[in-house]
Amino acid sequence: MRTAVKAAKRIVVKIGTSSLTHENGRVDLNKMERLARVLTDLNNSGKEIVLVSSGAVNAGMQRIGRNKRPEELPLKQASAAIGQAILMKMYQKFFDEYNQVIAQILLTKDVTEDPIKNKNAKNTFETLIELGVIPIINENDCISTAQIEGYRFGDNDTLSATVAELINADLLVLLTDIDGLYTANPKENSDAVLISEVTEITDEIKGLAGGAGSTMGTGGMMTKILAAEIAKACQTQTVIASGEEIEILRKVVDGEPVGTWFIA
């Protein structure tokens, strides 16, 4: 039993694009509905839930008939602008089914570095959580670009860890397209073994990470390990687990030994 994980009250859940879409890239409505149900139930139980959700760029791509993630920055930003509204509309529909109020917060990296913006963001989070609202977070891709130094997180793993630090979360859960951290790439090596617990994030641990994940997402295992490192520095527990079955969140929160636990 992971006692420290089970004791967590304030929880940041990050779900990646690959965990919200079918293999053809279209949004998996069944998963979104289950996610809304599980998070609402956890919120009802007294947990304080914050969701960091990818999927805006992908949703925008689908709406304008594109099947491949755009490489051109203006098209990527336009897809994000289109898709963010679509994504939130779907979340609103599913959370409404369970009478759960949600809110949208779009962040840029400078919010964490500017004292006034940082304070305002913290106040907003605290007030929403106090009201029982589930904030849904994404990066403001329309204005945060690699060309504007200091404005971009780059991936939602880093964003979720930064949010966890910002709100003093007890637990960060990263849902991805793999069960956790393995001794080797399980898609290429049948002898790969899942690592249940990581006490120290060493160069050897980082060396176990491969490249980017799915073609629809921007992160890979390395970004998740680095996110766990950020969380560990502020005493936040981290669990990397598969987003294939959304109900795994209940097992994570109950302290069951699923996925990989990075001990804070």
The pLDDT score that the predictor gives to residue 71 is 73
Confidence of residue 12 (pLDDT cuts 50, 70, 90): very high
The pLDDT score that the predictor gives to residue 154 is 64
Domains in the chain, number = 1
Q: How many CB atoms lie within 10 A of CB 75?
A: 16
The pLDDT score that the predictor gives to residue 103 is 98
Cβ-Cβ contacts under 8 Å for 220 (sequence gap 6 or more): 209, 210, 211, 212, 213
The pLDDT score that the predictor gives to residue 142 is 67
Least confident of 2-16, 166-180, 184-198, 242-256: 184-198
pLDDT in tens, 24-73: 878 889 999 999 999 999 999 999 999 999 877 777 877 887 777 777 77
The pLDDT score that the predictor gives to residue 214 is 41
pLDDT beyond 80 at 144: no
Mean pLDDT (whole number) for 175-184? 91
Domain range for 22: 3-262
Q: Percent of the chain at pLDDT above 70?
A: 91
Return the CATH number at 39: 3.40.1160.10
pLDDT beyond 60 at 127: yes
3-state secondary structure of 110: helix
Least confident of 11-15, 131-135, 146-150, 237-241: 146-150
The pLDDT score that the predictor gives to residue 159 is 94
pLDDT in tens, 209-242: 864 444 334 458 999 999 999 999 999 999 999 9
Could you tell me where the beta strands, DSSP code E, fall in 126-222?
134-139, 171-176, 197-198
3-state secondary structure of 123: helix
pTM of the model: 0.90
pLDDT in tens, 70-111: 777 778 888 888 888 989 999 999 999 999 999 999 998 888
pLDDT beyond 80 at 141: no
Mean pLDDT of the chain: 88
pLDDT beyond 80 at 21: yes
The pLDDT score that the predictor gives to residue 152 is 54
CA 101-168-135 angle, 5° bins: 15
The pLDDT score that the predictor gives to residue 255 is 97
Cβ-Cβ contacts under 8 Å for 255 (sequence gap 6 or more): 1, 2, 3, 5, 6
The pLDDT score that the predictor gives to residue 261 is 98
The pLDDT score that the predictor gives to residue 65 is 76
